[in-house]
Structure 1
Amino acid sequence: MEIAQNAALVVVDVQKGFEELDFWGPRNNPGADDSIASLIDVWQSTGRPVVFVRHDSDTPRSPLRAGYAGNEFKEYVERRRGKGAGAELLVTKTVNSAFYGTPELDGWLKAEGITQIVVAGIQTNMCVETTARMGGNLGYDVMVAFDATYTFDLEGPFGWRRSAEEVAQSSAVSLHGGGFARVVTAKEIVAAAG
């Protein structure tokens, strides 16, 4: 695995509101935050660019709504912001894809000459997957650090209900098998980027 010297790490929606499990329900991958932190650390120590994405929900009761404490980044992310030797960008959004945020991510990546992105964060099957899919559609070499993501149990049509782990695995299969992104582990990425 090769990680470009200017590959961007896109850290999606690692916000305090996702700790409110009464709202979201059961989650998977309790080690995700440690994996996300390890990616940020290696990106910052090697001078690579980091994009921090924040979801500013316009849903009145969402734990991610603007102005509510849950909208803030988790402490370990906030402590790391502004600490790297490389470029850093804050993107805010109200939809699933970081490519539909402010400032405009695609334009920034192109201006920086970035062609490879690594996506991590919350939720695996929502904003992480949508950002990865769009990145692939836009021609970027996309990697998803699967163990640096997590999600929650989900109910779909026909009363179908899937556990968070089943939902996450399904997302990974769609992304990887569909050719949108390479789904790998944070440990593999850290080893290649360090």
Structure 2
Amino acid sequence: MKVGDVELRDDIFNVEVNRHVLWEVVKWQLASRRQGTHSTKTRGEVSYSGRKLLPQKGTGNARHGDRGANIFVGGGIAHGPKPTDYYYNLPKKVRKLGLKMALSSKAQEGKLLIFDSINMGEVPKTKKALEFLQNMGIKDSKVLIVIPEKDQVVMKSFRNLQTVRVLPVEGLNVYDILWADVLALHKEAIEKIYERLSA
């Protein structure tokens, strides 16, 4: 497959896209990001006395145990959430295949751009970032920019733009590729993508 004057490998940028594989990888990614720190108190954990509210029989009232029972306002929560680890293992082959399919989908839809350089100077400037997007003709789109390696000046220059994300090749993932309307790849990042997906 050819994008501009760059020839791309078909085994990475022209793979048949299977939506179910993409769904599996995105589901795995989002599950991995969940903190799982949600927690509610059971009736044994709320700070109330364990004393029985009223005698079991003879008062004409309904039967009740202690004040912390889950039927009372402020009582314990029955079957509430507890801290959970949502991570599960997805085979490495499926993860790599998902990444190839996500890249292929952008290439096949004509939403893949390749640029030679991204010069932001020595100090982060959002103005320069906007100029870069303007020159590429993608100012009003959701854009994922992929650079060969971490570059704090580039990343900080785009940080204030809500519709732009910048990732080094090592952080490239299916969710962010599918989120973007346009995938912009640095020429030097292409070789690193080959290395990552061929390993």
Normalization by structure 1: what TM-score? 0.29
The structure that has the greater radius of gyration is: 2
- The structure in which a higher percent of residues are strand is 1
User: Relative CO higher for 1 or 2, CA cutoff 8 Å, sep ≥ 6?
Assistant: 1
Normalization by structure 2: what TM-score? 0.28
